[in-house]
Amino acid sequence: MSKIIFITGGVMSGIGKGVATASLGKILQSYGFSVSAMKIDPYVNVDAGTMNPTEHGEVFVTEDGLECDQDIGNYERFLNKNLHRVDYMTTGSIYQALIQKERNLEFGGKCVEVVPHVPEEVISRIQKSQRINKADIMLVEIGGTIGEYQNLLFLEAARILRQRHLHYPKDVLFVMVSYLPIPAMIGEMKTKPTQYAVRSLNSAGIQPDIILARSALPLDKVRKQKLSFALNLHEEDIISAPDIKSIYEVPVNFEKDQLGAIVLRKLGLKKKETDLKDWKRLVKTIQRPSKQPVKIGVVGKYFASGSFSLADSYISVIESLKHASWFHGREPVLSWLDVEKYEKRPTLLKELKEYDGIVVPGGFGTRGVEGKIRVIEYCRRAKIPYFGLCYGMQLAVVEFARHVAKMDRAHTEEINPKTPYPVIHILPEQEKLLSSKNYGGSMRLGLYDCAIKDGTIAKRSYKTARIKERHRHRYEVNSKFLPRLEKRGLIVSGINPQRKLVEIIELRDHPFFVGVQFHPEFLSRPLNPHPLFREFIRAAIKTKK
Ligand code: GLN
């Protein structure tokens, strides 16, 4: 069975627990161990699919179609590994399963209680993930902050697991990612909040083995001594984790304090190899890109409001653009363009010329739609490289229908069900789901096949005739209108062979105009950028010249 490392967070949220978890995984991989990662979210939502991106950040989709937290995306990108349903749970999913079992009389008439039944259900999920992944080491990130009411039952599950391994103390470890503030009026790094956070964890019956000390600056010797004394830890078990420019530097930074060696020693493992070379090379490119920057505009509407910013709402898109830019040795300069301003003041569209490429990512609903269509029209006419993802593809078809194929008032049924030209219409199976208000986890989700047409940008990018990509949508291109659209020059370069659904469209006589029904951003990896993002950035660089 894999060894388990629980990762908890202290003091406050938003300090990069997910990236710290992913980075620890990367380091352990580089020493020759297989690593899996699991995220526990304390929400009552059964999955992340019903949460607005401005509330919770991007909804990530696994290849088996689970809508989950963006941290799963971080794990996938760092570990270069596909994760699955078994690697994610929420409070809602735990209760849903328990209540279902109770309804099915699976408790044999017993009284079902919060303790032990909730922690036991959590443990059984962890063990299931362990069995399926068969990794040497399994990371389990417990969402939320220590001291919160909502993650207590997950901590209890972790404590019980450790208790069951009392004779094997090297099989279960606890890492706490904490924060040391440097208040401006004091100008000194303070350890007290971390001390209290560890005490709170202690009161849940858990002693951390390692502290990852996040702060604006590196931790000094005095702070390490102080924490070591107060927390019953060796100084070396307190790892300095200062702010850095790019998340991809985190593993390299952790290694400065020998995190990998310390964790392996605690787990009773000996390193098999050391291979962080390619990763370190990437970090060098990030720190010192050799060539001119490439300027990309991301047009969206999920802007800062609530606790998450635009960067969180579109994190996989943004990371994919970065991976592709670094591949070409360029620094990515990304701007967030609020689509609603182009609706209010179309004269502003001219500013799109300042960008080497424009992306319209996925989205839902009416707000901002006409602005997106204007942006797409502008990119098409001004020959600015354009990459449309999901909604960005559907609206490109709407734009083409309206302005090139002369289908006046063409639209997607999502916005105007009465349009004379429903060029984007609802998937038949989705109609029933919507009318019965069955919204959760019911879209066309996860991996589907796509056959690529020869002689297209898609073929040039993928260099293969068959691909699989991840989806999350209810609407699709209406094949009834395809002959008319194709006659006017729309190219369908990717099609789902089983159901004949349009997956990729593109235009000729344009440096790069591509729309995809799927979400390529979920498959891009730092050392292996997604082919379409790679070619989009290549076109952007070329246009710039
Ligand atoms: N709203 C569109 C649909 O449901 C696009 C979804 C998306 O961009 N993820 O089909």
Give the model confidence (pLDDT) of 55-91 as tens digits.
778 999 999 999 999 999 999 999 999 999 999 999 9
Alpha-carbon radius of gyration of the chain: 25
**Out of 256-260, 283-287, 303-307, 370-374, which region has the weakest mean confidence (pLDDT)?**
303-307
Q: Token pair of 101, please?
A: 């079992």
Alpha helix stretches (DSSP H) within 428-477: 428-435, 457-462
Quote the CA–CA distance of 540 and 334 in Å, as a whole number. Answer: 13
Clarify whether 519 is annotated catalytic. yes
**Out of 125-129, 339-343, 514-518, which region has the weakest mean confidence (pLDDT)?**
339-343
Q: What is the pLDDT averaged over residues 435-447?
A: 87
Quote the CA–CA distance of 107 and 392 in Å, as a whole number. Answer: 48
Q: Relative to the CA of 364, which ligand 1 atom is closest?
A: 1
Ligand 1 touching residue 471 (CB < 6 A): no
Q: Token pair of 428, please?
A: 């038949």
Reported as a pLDDT band with limits 50, 70 and 90, residue 51 is confident
Burial string for 462-490 (b: 16+ CB within 10 Å, else e) reads beeeebebbbbbbbbbbeebbeebeeeeb
Reported as a pLDDT band with limits 50, 70 and 90, residue 310 is low
Strands 444-452 and 466-473, bridge-based pairing: antiparallel
Ligand 1 centroid vs 428 CA: distance in angstroms?
15
Among 390, 450, 476, 530, the one annotated catalytic: 390
**Out of 302-311, 376-385, 451-460, which region has the weakest mean confidence (pLDDT)?**
302-311
Judged against a pLDDT cut of 60, whether residue 170 lies above it is answered with yes
Our mutation pick for probing the ligand 1 site, out of 367, 372, 442, 472, counting the most ligand atoms within 8 A of Cβ, is: 472
First to last CA, the chain: 55
Clarify whether 411 is annotated catalytic. no
Ligand 1 centroid vs 29 CA: distance in angstroms?
36
Judged against a pLDDT cut of 70, whether residue 308 lies above it is answered with no
Query: Biggest alpha carbon distance in the chain?
Result: 75
pLDDT in the model for residue 52: 81
Judged against a pLDDT cut of 60, whether residue 306 lies above it is answered with no
Quote the CA–CA distance of 230 and 213 in Å, as a whole number. Answer: 14
Ligand 1 centroid vs 475 CA: distance in angstroms?
6
- CB of 444 within 8 A of CB of 499? no
- CB of 495 within 8 A of CB of 449? no
Q: What value does the mean pLDDT of the chain take?
A: 93
- CB of 286 within 8 A of CB of 249? yes
pTM, to two decimals:
0.94
DSSP 170: G
Ligand 1 centroid vs 385 CA: distance in angstroms?
22
Q: What is the pLDDT averaged over residues 370-389?
A: 97
Burial string for 201-222 (b: 16+ CB within 10 Å, else e) reads beebebebbbbbbbbeeebeee
Ligand 1 centroid vs 178 CA: distance in angstroms?
37
Fold of 289-544: Rossmann fold (3.40.50)
Reported as a pLDDT band with limits 50, 70 and 90, residue 357 is very high
Ligand 1 touching residue 363 (CB < 6 A): yes
Q: Name the residue at shortest CA distance from atom 6 of ligand 1.
A: 473
Among 67, 331, 521, 535, the one annotated catalytic: 521
Q: Token pair of 130, please?
A: 């362990």
Reported as a pLDDT band with limits 50, 70 and 90, residue 307 is very low
Give ranges for CATH 3.40.50.880 in the chain.
289-544
> Rounded to an integer, what is the distance from CA 164 to the centroid of its chain?
33
Ligand 1 touching residue 472 (CB < 6 A): yes
| Residue whose pair of structure tokens reads 């990236």 in the numeric block | 19
Fold of 3-282: Rossmann fold (3.40.50)
CA-to-CA dists, residue 303 to 53, 299, 308, 369, 536, angstroms: 9, 10, 8, 15, 24
Burial string for 504-531 (b: 16+ CB within 10 Å, else e) reads bbbbeebbbbbbbbbbbbbbbbbeebbb
Q: Relative to the CA of 363, which ligand 1 atom is closest?
A: 8
Our mutation pick for probing the ligand 1 site, out of 50, 316, 387, 391, counting the most ligand atoms within 8 A of Cβ, is: 391
Q: Name the residue at shortest CA distance from atom 8 of ligand 1.
A: 362
- CB of 316 within 8 A of CB of 522? yes
Ligand 1 touching residue 362 (CB < 6 A): yes
Q: Name the residue at shortest CA distance from atom 7 of ligand 1.
A: 362
Q: Relative to the CA of 361, which ligand 1 atom is closest?
A: 8
Reported as a pLDDT band with limits 50, 70 and 90, residue 14 is confident
Ligand 1 centroid vs 316 CA: distance in angstroms?
16
Judged against a pLDDT cut of 80, whether residue 384 lies above it is answered with yes
Quote the CA–CA distance of 240 and 220 in Å, as a whole number. Answer: 8
Give ranges for CATH 3.40.50.300 in the chain.
3-282
Quote the CA–CA distance of 376 and 434 in Å, as a whole number. Answer: 29
Reported as a pLDDT band with limits 50, 70 and 90, residue 304 is low
Residues in a beta bridge with 447: 470
Clarify whether 156 is annotated catalytic. no
